[in-house]
Structure 1
Amino acid sequence: MRAALLVLLLATPGLAETPMTPEEFDAFATGKTLEFSNESGVFGVEDYLPGRKVRWAATGDICKLGEWFPAGDAICFTYDNLPEQHCWTVWQEGDHLAARSLLDGPDRQPRQITLADAPVACTGPDVGV
């Protein structure tokens, strides 16, 4: 009976989405490059640097420097030259992480977050020599 209840809980959307704490997220992400994908494929890559700093590049776009910070159960991001913050609930899902924007409707599929094979490849101005 307990096994059947556990399977039901894990299979029910929303119930298995226990948010990572900021400390868990920091321990998982710092020093790594993470790849973000949705049902259409990879849409961006982000380097997680010490001190909660990040370097984000949407597929085909230039890099943006920013930082992340906790806000309740959410992990929020701000980027240079972008006034709005982006907040996500992040949780462990099997061998990867999953994330849902706080702006998403209930029917929106979570994004998958996996380890990338290489750091962000920045293009455009301000990438150095």
Structure 2
Amino acid sequence: MRLTAALSLLIALTTSPSLAERVVTAEEFAEMVTGRTLHFDRFGRPFGSEQYFDDKRVIWAFEGGTCQRGIWFENTEGQICFVYDDDPSPQCWDFLQTDDGAFHARLDGEDPESDLVTRDVGTDALDCPLPDLGV
């Protein structure tokens, strides 16, 4: 009985006070984002937005920046990866849902402090002119 109490205390002391988080599967991710635009904060400030289409195409725009078109896919490790027209190197992320309902994106190998945190989810289209229109 004492061992159980000591083990419980050890777990409580070593457990981070942060919220519990769960990695979202690719199927859950698709259901959550398809047809929507997610607006992200980083370090408590607006960072960028991404619009998700039915066929896994995306448009990303840094806050106040230009638009980048790309696609997303699931890699063999279950991460959500993005490839954009201007950079063929995949950027892979874990998308996490916390127990308070927040939605985080963590770049592979980055610390939680660098997470992108969803500020807003809507159906608004990003203001991105099509390429070669001269607009």
TM-score by length of 1: 0.77
SS class of match (1:60): coil
Q: How much does 1:83 deviate?
A: 2.2
Alpha-carbon separation, structure 2, partners of 1:42 and 1:88:
19
Equivalent residue in structure 1 for 2:117, among 102, 112, 119: 112
* Residues 1-80 of structure 1 aligned to structure 2 (within 5 Å): 12=16, 16-71=20-75, 72-80=77-85
Change (3 A) 1:68 1:117: closer
SS class of match (1:108): helix
Change (3 A) 1:13 1:29: farther
AA aligned to 2:121 is: L
| Structure with greater Cα Rg | 2
Q: 1:51-105 deviations in whole A, cap 9, x for unaligned?
A: 111011111221111010111231110001212211110111223311111031x
Q: 1:96-119 deviations in whole A, cap 9, x for unaligned?
A: 311111031x36342202314732
Q: Is the 8 A contact 1:46 1:55 kept in 2?
A: yes
- Cα root mean square deviation, aligned: 3.0
Q: Is the 8 A contact 2:102 2:117 kept in 1?
A: yes
Q: Which runs of 5+ in 2 are unaligned?
A: 1-7
TM-score by length of 2: 0.74
Percent identity, please.
Answer: 35
Change (3 A) 1:68 1:30: same
Q: Which runs of 5+ in 1 are unaligned?
A: none
Alpha-carbon separation, structure 2, partners of 1:13 and 1:30:
32
- Per the alignment, residue 88 of structure 1 pairs with 93
